[in-house]
């Protein structure tokens, strides 16, 4: 675009920029952000919001919805609504931790591989390629069979598997940045690895990685839910949406929609995150379109 335009656009504070950005957000992105906010509140303040305790038995099994328990009770007579709220904390928490570990491992290996190249890059890339050839869900199932079901195992296995995907992406975006002249210029100056990684490369690959974080979170979240649903993920009595669907699934054949609630809770969050990510993606690719 013309140079004058660019110069005029200079000089705005971060806060102003964020507000300007938000103003351009489409309805779907707003919807997504509000949903995420509500989930976050539910997860953080679960003990204050939920009418009953996580494992508190308040009545008979499979009671229908009433004034005291608005969604009814589960197979052990626990309040479904309370467990839904606690589920937010557990399910989202586990997925978030997994994704963070996955990004820490995969991201740092990816950036390192892009910078070092040579045998390190070759070695890690080949191993990752082999792991990429096995679907995550299948691999996770197999590993859980070997090491046994527990939340810690679940987090470690999924984080490592997902890290292979993160490695691929962060290596690719880091490679784009590493070939830039400003990195070469830093090398010519004689800068060490630390400066090059943290001052030259990382600030430039952060935006795409943040977008990817949203997508990876959704994927991890869905995979954990699926594993829990299959009975090999989060184990009772922890309130977890995937297991809650499995625990109450027989109800559906009797026309009781109880198992649909936790499933819907999962769906709503991933849809919300996807809407926000989609908006980010369109913003970045839209610039290319407008040429």
* Contact between residue 46 and residue 85 where contact means Cβ atoms under 8 Å apart: yes
- Of 215, 218, 222, nearest to 277 by C-alpha is 215
**What gap in Å lies between CA 254 and CA 245, rounded to an integer?**
15
Shortest separation between residue 112's beta carbon and other proteins, angstroms: 18
Shortest separation between residue 123's beta carbon and other proteins, angstroms: 13
Residue 7 contacts other proteins per CB under 8 A: yes
Residue 238 contacts other proteins per CB under 8 A: no
Residue 230 contacts other proteins per CB under 8 A: yes
Number of CB atoms found within 10 A of residue 24's CB: 9
**What gap in Å lies between CA 91 and CA 106, rounded to an integer?**
22
Residue 1 contacts other proteins per CB under 8 A: yes
Given the complex with other proteins, which of 101 and 157 has the nearer CB atom?
157
Residue 34 contacts other proteins per CB under 8 A: no
Given the complex with other proteins, which of 21 and 40 has the nearer CB atom?
21
Residue 256 Ramachandran class (φ > 0 left, ψ -120 to 50 alpha, else beta): beta
Residues of this chain, 50-69, that bind other proteins according to CB under 8 A? none
Residue 291 contacts other proteins per CB under 8 A: yes
Binding mask 239-278 for other proteins (x = CB under 8 A): ---x--x---x--xxxx-x-xx--xx-xx--xx-xxx--x
For other proteins, the binding residue among 18, 182, 237, 284 (CB under 8 A) is 182
Shortest separation between residue 37's beta carbon and other proteins, angstroms: 17
- Of 186, 200, 221, 197, nearest to 107 by C-alpha is 197
Residue 200 contacts other proteins per CB under 8 A: yes
DSSP conformation letters of 165-197: HHHHHHHHHHHHHHTSHHHHHHHHHT--HHHII
Q: Work out the burial of residue 69: count CB atoms within 10 Å of its CB; fewer than 13 is exposed, 13-18 middle, 19 or more buried.
A: buried
Binding mask 131-170 for other proteins (x = CB under 8 A): x-xxxxxxx-xxxxxxxx----------------------
- Binding span for other proteins by CB under 8 A among 40-48, 50-58, 167-175, 225-233: 225-233
Shortest separation between residue 237's beta carbon and other proteins, angstroms: 18
Three-state DSSP state, 57: strand
Shortest separation between residue 252's beta carbon and other proteins, angstroms: 6
Residue 19 contacts other proteins per CB under 8 A: no
Give alpha helix (H) positions in 133-259: 136-147, 151-178, 181-189, 193-195, 202-229, 241-247
């Amino acid at each position: 675009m013309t140079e004058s335009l660019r110069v005029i656009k200079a000089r705005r504070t971060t806060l102003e920029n964020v507000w300007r950005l938000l103003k351009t957000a489409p309805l779907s992105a707003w919807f997504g952000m509000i949903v995420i906010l509500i989930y976050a509140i539910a997860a953080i303040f679960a003990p204050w919001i939920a009418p009953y305790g996580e494992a508190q038995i308040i009545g008979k099994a499979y009671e229908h919805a009433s004034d005291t328990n608005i969604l009814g009770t589960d197979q052990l007579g626990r309040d479904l609504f309370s467990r839904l709220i606690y589920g937010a904390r557990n399910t989202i928490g586990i997925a978030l931790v997994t994704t963070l570990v996955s990004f820490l491992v995969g991201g740092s290996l990816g950036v390192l591989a892009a910078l070092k190249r040579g045998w390190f890059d070759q070695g890690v890339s080949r191993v990752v390629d082999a792991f990429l050839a096995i679907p995550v869900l299948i691999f996770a199932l197999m590993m859980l069979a070997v090491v046994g079901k527990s939340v810690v195992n679940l987090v470690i296995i999924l984080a490592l598997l997902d890290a292979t995907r993160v490695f691929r992406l962060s290596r690719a975006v880091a490679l784009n940045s590493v070939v830039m002249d400003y990195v070469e210029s830093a090398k010519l100056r004689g800068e060490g690895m630390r400066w090059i990684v943290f001052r030259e490369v990382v600030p430039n690959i952060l935006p795409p990685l943040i977008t990817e974080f949203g997508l990876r979170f959704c994927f991890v979240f869905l995979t954990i839910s699926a594993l829990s649903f299959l009975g090999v993920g989060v184990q009772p009595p922890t309130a977890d949406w995937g297991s809650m669907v499995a625990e109450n699934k027989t109800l559906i054949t009797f026309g009781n929609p109880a198992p649909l609630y936790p499933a819907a809770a999962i769906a709503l969050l991933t849809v919300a995150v996807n809407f926000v990510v989609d908006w980010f993606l369109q913003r970045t690719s839209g610039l290319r379109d407008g040429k």
